Amino acid sequence: MDKKPEKLVPEVRFKGFTDDWEQRKLGEVSKIVRGASPRPIKDPKWFEKDSHVGWIRISDVTEQNGRIRHLTQHLSKAGEAKTRVFEQPHLLLSIAASVGFPAINYVPIGVHDGFLIFLNSKFNINYMFYWLEKFRPLWRKYGQPGSQVNLNSDIVSNTRLALPKEAEQSKVSNFLNKVELLITLQQRKLEILIKLKQSFLTKSMANNLDKNPELYFNSASIKWLKQKLSNLTIKEFKGNTKLNDTKPGKTEYLDAERLNGNAPLFIDKPINTLKSDILILWDGSKAGSVYYGFEGSLGSTLKAIRLNPKLVNSFFVYQQLKSKQDVIFNKYRTPNIPHVIKNFTKVYPIYFPSMAVQNKIARFLGNLDALIEIQQKSIKDYKGIKKYLLQKLFI
């Protein structure tokens, strides 16, 4: 007896839908064409600041999560004549540089040859936006090992998918739109918290002794002092742990690779850094970056600064340094080399009020940091939910 073929349906489905999904090729449900670019692309005659037709770049797609509602660069009439212009929303797919990112334009747009455009589509474009987002990691199969993915209209047109009927497409895309809106709202809350902290740092910290901060907790905070960082330091050392010389253990190891998000590493070395130490990345492309709250063993790219607790609150000083990372990198590094100068602590000025006020400022900033961390986790959780749904609601 022949085995009955399994139904072509997703793992998770909305109530009321029972039909099989239909196997199609993308090129059968849309005409897929490539954008066009004026040449040479850097010629200013192709662009005009006051034009209403924007010029899309991959950075716009990644920064706006594919929902293109504003563009900073705009096309002149001459530029419009050399590309493909669309006034109404269309589904796009990046095929150069960052490959496989879907986008939908909600503003008039000129599309260059780094994108494909889906025309005369027989699908809900929001539904297909999410399908392409789910499929994006799979485009890697079209690249040779160690090379970039090479997408073109033929490859995309011949890509197969299972497609439900329009009513189910709408149901799925509307649900995912709500999840995406929740993520956007959480991201806006995070942006507000970050701006609040930046504003507080700007207004509560003195940058010279001739002008009081705009915000202070009480009259005692009016009197600020200035000292070189080295005068507040009781110990300063550069990490000397070499990863190749270590073996597994219980002490956490920190270097530039761990700071970039690599998995934590535990080694058989003694602890040489305390949580109250301020850490500065001493060399590399992010030299001058400041960190706090680590206890373990340091790699050679990091330097620890241990402050005198009778003079200053180390978290207060960390927040001051953290807010000036760009200044540290640009002003206190060796010429032409991303390396913080050796005598940094001897020349860098720290401004500080009484210990009581330092403690109040540190507590307030610590509470803000905790809220920011909670908000970041919330966004990560929502994105995890969305990723799970993309896997379960599509075939």
Q: 282, 303 in Cβ contact below 8 A? A: yes
SS (H, E, C) 221-266: HHCCEEEEHHHHEEEEEECCECHHHCCEEEEEEECHHHHCCCCCEE
Same domain, 34 and 148: yes
Each residue's pLDDT expressed in tens, for the chain with a length of 395 residues: 444 456 788 999 999 999 999 999 999 999 999 999 999 988 999 999 999 999 999 999 999 999 999 999 999 999 999 999 999 999 999 998 789 999 999 999 999 999 999 999 999 999 999 999 999 999 888 865 556 677 899 999 999 999 999 999 999 999 999 999 999 999 999 999 999 999 999 888 887 776 678 776 665 556 889 999 999 999 999 888 777 767 888 989 888 888 877 788 888 888 989 999 999 998 877 888 899 999 999 988 899 999 999 999 999 999 999 988 888 777 877 767 778 888 899 999 999 998 988 999 999 999 999 999 999 999 999 999 999 999 999 99
Half-sphere exposure of 173 (CA within 13 A, CB side): 19
The CATH number for 262's domain is: 3.90.220.20
Same domain, 346 and 359: no
CA 316 to chain centre: 26
Both tokens of 230, joined, read 């080295």
8 lies in some domain:
no
Q: What is the dihedral of CA 275, 280, 281, 285, to 10 degrees?
A: 130
Nearest-angstrom CA–CA distance, 177 and 182: 9
Q: What is the pLDDT of residue 301?
A: 87
Nearest-angstrom CA–CA distance, 19 and 55: 41
5 lies in some domain:
no
> How do beta strands 31-34 and 115-119 pair?
antiparallel
Both tokens of 333, joined, read 């590094």
| Residue in the block written with tokens 């706006």 | 64
Same domain, 137 and 27: yes
The domain boundary, picked from 149, 164, 179, lies at 164
Question: Which residues form the domain of 254?
Answer: 225-352
Same domain, 173 and 237: no
Fill in the DSSP letter of residue 21: P
Nearest to 292 by CA among 273, 309, 311, 271: 273
Q: 163, 178 in Cβ contact below 8 A? A: no
Percentages (nearest 5) of helix, strand, coil residues in the chain: 40, 20, 40
Same domain, 173 and 193: yes
Same domain, 357 and 315: no
Nearest to 371 by CA among 202, 182, 186, 183: 186
Q: What is the pLDDT of residue 2?
A: 46
Q: What is the pLDDT of residue 145?
A: 57
Sheet with 84-86, edge to edge strand ranges: 54-55, 109-111, 84-86
Count of domains observed in the chain:
3
Nearest-angstrom CA–CA distance, 21 and 383: 26
Q: What is the pLDDT of residue 376?
A: 96
Same domain, 193 and 310: no
Same domain, 28 and 159: yes
Q: What is the pLDDT of residue 222?
A: 66
